Structure 1
Amino acid sequence: MDQFIVSARKYRPQNFSTVVGQQHITTTLKNAIRNQQLAHAFLFCGPRGVGKTTCARILAKTINCENHSNDGEACNTCSSCSSFNEGSSLNIHELDAASNNSVDDIRSLVEQVRFAPQAGKYKVYIVDEVHMLSTSAFNAFLKTLEEPPPYAIFILATTEKHKILPTILSRCQIFDFKRITINDTVEHLQEICDKEAIQAEPAALQVIAQKSEGCMRDSLSILDKIVSFTNGELTYKNTLEHLNILDAEYYFRMMDYMLAQDLSGAMLLFDDINRKGFEGDMVLSGFAEFIRNLLLSKDSKVASLVEVVETFRNRYIDIASNLEAGFLVTALNLLNEAEIHYKGARNKRLHVEMLLIRLCYLKQAIEVVNDGSRKKLTESKPLNFRLLQPVVRKEVQPNKKSETVTTVGEKGNTNSGARLIIDEDIISKTQNSTLNIAVKDGEHKIPDPTLASRPALQEPVSKPSTGKLGSLARLRQQVSNTNQGGTAIKSITLTDELLTLAWQEYIEQLKTLRNPAVQSFELAELRLNDTSSFTVVVPNNLQQKFIDGERIPLSEFLQTRFHNRNLTYQLIVEQREDLLIKIEIPPNSRERFTQMAAHYPLVKELKDRLKLELDY
């Protein structure tokens, strides 16, 4: 039994012409080889599985080929090409930077560069995943990469170009690989199926190409798995089943239910999808992509961006032609919003079902908005208006205070029979800007005397002789009076003794509450400024923060205690010597000798006689 080789290795391209989807790079390399304009360092960057390492190996083989063709391709027959194909060539060295990313690894590579090739023209060093090198390794590689020997060529490959140091990028010739298109992937898969005698439907190959997202290696791996799963028969149905992809037919049916406003059908269809094991977020994402494809299908200019199975393309165009762009955009917005909040939903199935309800009645809502009689479908919110009944007074009650004034006619004459009866109690309770006053000849509106003057009124005909206050003055008097029978409480004069007693009283309250600021209040010093202000002096910033944290309750307590709302205080920090931490510094060598000489004079005399110099 022959050993199985995966398609990604078995059908790896051996020359530039067989590389799929990278013609802009292969053409440039072939021209450089033909014109002998090879750079000493190349950087191949791009997504995974698009042919970076493959092109690096083909380039290494081609430049050492003894009989390469006129278009820059390797002959695959000479000794150099044969040794390369067998994996025994000594002129090609590959280094995986993901596992060999230290400075020592790069130094060992630099040591190998010193030796010239025994056969062939060039020694090629391929460093894969070069972005994994450490900064120190990059720096150790800089000089060799900038000025290598004439026989050395470096080819660096990476999937993350932004992680490479700019000093490395400036020393390399950069080639950006692109994702392989769906059509190129399908054609390559079809060639492999023909060689392996695999029965494959074009729709199945298109699904594999879409699933691989431009990565040829992934598409070949998927092909091997499905072939093993289906015993060599590749159909659209078993491909969807193996890849766990929801068929587009479900989305077409869901759209039909939406247009028909058939909520029950949409609910049952979602239940069928859910029973097959598809999660709600997959349904939302797939349906959003379906709506996006419908929206693009309406315009022939962007129809090429629709990446769907060819058998469904005409169906997309037919359905999109019967739908309005506003309907599709609104549905797409609803799906996007539901997909964003899906993870935060507690009942995820209910979250999707609520979206389906909104989508099923979306067409009806848009029709209501576009209706001429009802231009907008908006929510009505009640406004906070208060209905004021007009004041009707036919006669003056003896127990009510009133004023009688005359009204001015249209020509400035006073109406003889019209009199306004104004109830002061009603005026004081009314808060709108006008009052409805009942008069004999009709009803008139005058401005509220609490908000404006009375321009429409002349002086009263009869004014009470007693000096009674008007409604506005009476309101002011009521506000100014205290709650204790209308008599104001006299404030207590602030003195040192009273302030100290009040301060101690507040400290006792803090002790009862077990407040940690008690010690700060006890260490604080009070200084009286005047009869309504004082200063609190604390020794450090920590105690200042504790006292400042009690600013509001302390101010309310003191203002209530002294019946003075203007009572204020300020907080300052002054360091006190009695509270400073004293640190004893041990004496140095000179001070210790001085103390010793003071107690023992013979020691100093000995020093002087022997003419000793002390090392302090």
Structure 2
Amino acid sequence: MEPFIVSARKYRPQTFKDVVGQEAITNTLLNAIENDHLAQALLFCGPRGVGKTTCARILAKQINQDGTQREDEDFAFNIFELDAASNNSVDDIRNLIDQVRIPPQVGKYKVYIIDEVHMLSQSAFNAFLKTLEEPPKHAIFILATTEKHKIIPTILSRCQIFDFKRITVKDAAEYLKYIAEQQDIEAEEGALHIIAQKADGAMRDALSIFDRVVSFSGKQLSRKAVTENLNVLDYDTYFSATDLILENNIPELLLLFNKTLSLGYDGHHFISGLATHFRDLLVCQHPDTISLLEVSDDVKNQYHDQAKKADKRFLLKTLDLANDCDLKYKASKNQRLLVELTLMKMASITFDGEKKKRDFIIPASHFVKIDAPNTQAHPPKQETQETIPQLESVAASEEMLQEEQLETIQEPPPNYQPKKKIEIKNPVKRVSGLSLSSIKAKKEHENVKAPNLSKEELPTEPFSEEEMQQHWNDFTQMLNDKGRKILASNFQTDVPKLKNVNTIWIELPNATMKKEVELEQSLMLDYLKQKLNNYSISLQITVNEETAKKFAFTPAEKYQKLKEKNPAIELLRKEFDLDF
């Protein structure tokens, strides 16, 4: 069976009376034709699909019909169309200008329709400007464009401009209803409104969509069939989502969104449609703005009922959240999570009615169902005459058992001592390392570990230089064993000397080494004070650049040192003519 197809082209307007939603423009053009006041340059501008080119063709046929022509007479050869999108060069405009000079053979006017005129190049506009300023009496130019702001001002100033508006959903739905009646198609009013909304003010798109949907659905056109074929979410989905949001039911709301995604819909489509739904609910809040709601009457009643449940503050917050999600959707790496978070925030707006942060979300523990003990799982048995004596015998036997147990309980011996209960001490409250109390606790700990003593009370036993050097070497060896070889090497650079009774003096070759030793000198001093039992020891570090020569020799200096130790090396060098 072949699919039932409606020819949408058949119902496109053939006369000005058939033009939908542009009555003011068509009446103005008809009056200009009747009174012979039609301008020679017209500019039709407006959105795509609203009938600009169609009105231009109807006008081109209408202006040559003065009532004296035959019924089968056609003036199509007086109409010339040029697509400026593909013919936008200077040569194309020159060919057009050459045709304009020739007067019509039949009829009064030759009409030149230039579609998408804003696509002409700058040089093409300049070439066309002279002809548009002083056109022949028999030539009428009709320019059609969707972007009037791209046309140069010199062209706009020489045209009579007609702004085509978007066709309203109501007018488009009524015309689709007329087509459905002509084709004996049973179409629901809601289905036609969805088609009109999908067309976005373009009657041409509405006819094409209607043609496509009917080819799949046949003569029974329901709202469900239209939403499935056009991949449009039904109103019921948004009504259900809004009810769940008002009920603070986050789990069911997320399941509804998951079901929507499983049907093949996009998350961006869902959240933008939900924002439109909240806008429509906000429109229903005031009786003067209900006319802005472009839906069928049955759906309008649903909107009116749900608008009573939601206050204006709630709708404004949800619109803000939905708009924020819409803006962030394309840049988000986890788009599903973004929509789910937005839905959870929406469902948390009316929770408890308290003032909350903007990003507040109802905790998951609120939705945990605590299973109450099932008392009806095992209903009590009815007591019959047969069960009563059995219950009495069971009770008597339980009493006898209790008496026997009491008799068998022995008294505790005289020396019996009960075990002590284990006392569990509460853990000491720990102090945060970033608080003021931690400083106080640290000082107390230091006082316990090493109580403060005055300098007079500390021991200052005398020691010899040899003892000091021995402990010095022991400590550097300990550092070396622990892996701190650089610090041990710095301490071993010079032999420490006892400058006075309590001052140890070392001489280092450079300032860098001095800084490194000064940073770690406390380790050495603490060790020496403890071993020598003298807490008045201090360390003096000086720098002598000349001592560096001991550690950085040039090749000549190395040779001189070897020659001093063994003069025979010089004879060996001269014998074999070697370099040092």
Instruction: Give the TM interval when normalised to the shorter protein.
Output: 0.5 to 0.7
Give the match for residue 164 of structure 2: 177
Q: 1:368 aligned to 349, 354, 359, which one?
A: 354
* Residue matched to 2:66: 66
Partner Cα separation in structure 2 for residue 265 and residue 48 of structure 1: 41
Answering whether residue 305 of structure 2 is matched by residue 318 of structure 1, we say yes
Please say if residues 369 and 377 of structure 1, whose CA atoms lie closer than 8 Å, have aligned partners that are also in contact: no
CA displacement, residues 275-329 of structure 1 (integer Å, 9 cap, x when unaligned): 2111211111111111121122112222222223321112212221222222222
1:255 aligns to 2:242 (yes or no) = yes
Partner AA of 1:95 in structure 2 = L
Q: Residue 25 of structure 2 aligns with which residue?
A: 25
Corresponding residue to 2:196 among 206, 209, 213: 209
Q: Secondary structure at the match of 1:362?
A: coil
Aligned-pair CA distance for 1:66? 1.8
Aligned to 2:111: 124
Q: Which structure dedicates a bigger proportion of its chain to strand? A: 1
Distance, in Å, in 2 between the alignment partners of 1:400 and 1:275 is 82
Are residue 340 (structure 1) and residue 327 (structure 2) matched? yes
Q: Provide, for residues 133-154 of structure 1, a one-character-per-residue CA deviation record: whole Å limited to 9, x for no partner.
A: 2211111111111101111111
1:78-477 residue pairs with structure 2 within 5 A?
A: 78-79=69-70, 82-84=72-74, 89-364=76-351, 367-369=353-355, 386-387=436-437, 399=454
The residue type equivalent to 2:33 in the other structure is I
Cα contact 1:94–1:125 (8 A) shared by 2: yes
Letter paired with 2:109: Y
Q: Give the Å deviation of 1:258.
A: 1.8
For the residue of structure 1 that corresponds to 2:55, the secondary structure is helix
CA apart distance, 1:20: 0.8
Q: Partner amino acid for 1:132?
A: M
**1:486–1:285: structure 2 CA closer, same or farther, 3 Å change rule?**
farther
Deviation of 1:78 (Å): 2.9
TM-aligned CA deviation for residue 39 of structure 1: 0.9
Cα pair 1:6 1:221 within 8 Å, conserved: no
**1:16 & 1:342 partners in 2: Cα distance?**
45
Equivalent-residue separation in structure 2 for 1:7 and 1:190 (angstroms): 15
The aligned residue for residue 43 of structure 2 is 43
CA distance in 2, matches of 1:29, 1:487: 106
Q: In the alignment, residue 169 of structure 2 is paired with which amino acid?
A: I
Aligned residue type for 2:214? V
Distance 1:83 1:267, change over 3 A: same
Which amino acid is the alignment partner of residue 344 of structure 2?
A: I
Q: Distance in 1 between matches of 2:192 and 2:453?
A: 102
Distance 2:95 2:120 in 1: 14
Q: Measured at CA, do residues 360 and 486 of structure 1 come closer, stay the same or move farther in structure 2, by a change above 3 Å?
A: farther
Q: SS of 1:322's equivalent?
A: coil
**Alpha-carbon distance in 2 for matches of 1:22, 1:284:** 33
Q: Which consecutive residues of structure 1, in runs of 5 or more, have no partner in the other structure? A: 68-76, 402-481, 492-616
Give secondary structure in 1 for the equivalent of 2:258.
helix
Whether the aligned pair in 2 keeps the contact of 1:83 and 1:89 (CA below 8 Å) is no
What residue identity is the alignment partner of 2:354?
A: V
Distance 1:359 1:117, change over 3 A: same
Identify the residue that residue 419 of structure 2 maps to in structure 1. none
8 Å CA contact retained: 2:118, 2:151? yes
Gap change, CA 1:311 and 1:488, over 3 Å in 2: farther
Q: Is 1:207–1:309's contact at 8 Å kept on the other side of the alignment?
A: no
Structure 1 Cα separation of the partners of residues 136 and 302 of structure 2: 61
Equivalent residues of 1:296, 1:303 under 8 A apart: yes
CA contact (8 A) 1:368 1:377 kept: no
The higher radius of gyration belongs to 2
Letter in 1 for 2:174: E
Could you say what secondary structure the match of 1:302 adopts?
helix
**Cα deviation, residue 244, structure 1:** 0.8
The correspondence of residues 495-510 of structure 1 with structure 2, limited to 5 A, is none
Q: Note the residue ranges of structure 2 that are not aligned, 5 or more in a row.
A: 362-431, 457-517, 522-538, 546-580
Letter paired with 2:289:
V
Is contact 2:246–2:347 with CA below 8 Å preserved after alignment? yes
| CA RMSD in angstroms, aligned pairs only | 3.3
Once the two structures are superposed, residues 362-396 of structure 1 have per-residue CA deviations (whole angstroms, 9 ceiling, x without a partner) of: 2116x1218xxx9x989xxx9x8635769999xxx
Residues 112/377 of structure 1: CA separation in 2 closer, same or farther (3 Å cut): closer
- 1:389 to 1:193, Cα distance in 2 relative to 1, 3 A: same
C-alpha separation in 2, matches of 1:202 and 1:490: 103
Distance change >3 Å, CA 400–CA 336, structure 1 → 2: farther
Structure 1 or 2: more helix by fraction:
2
The normalised TM-score by structure 1 is: 0.58
**Alpha carbons of structure 1 residues 182 and 486: separation in structure 2 relative to 1, 3 Å:** farther
Q: After TM superposition, give the deviation of residue 210 of structure 1 in Å.
A: 0.4
1:7–1:166 Cα change, 3 Å: farther
Identity across the alignment (%) = 51
Q: Tell me which moved more, 300-309 or 141-150.
A: 300-309
> Deviation per CA, 1:255-277, whole angstroms, max 9, x where unpaired?
22222222222222222212211
CA contact (8 A) 2:345 2:360 kept: no
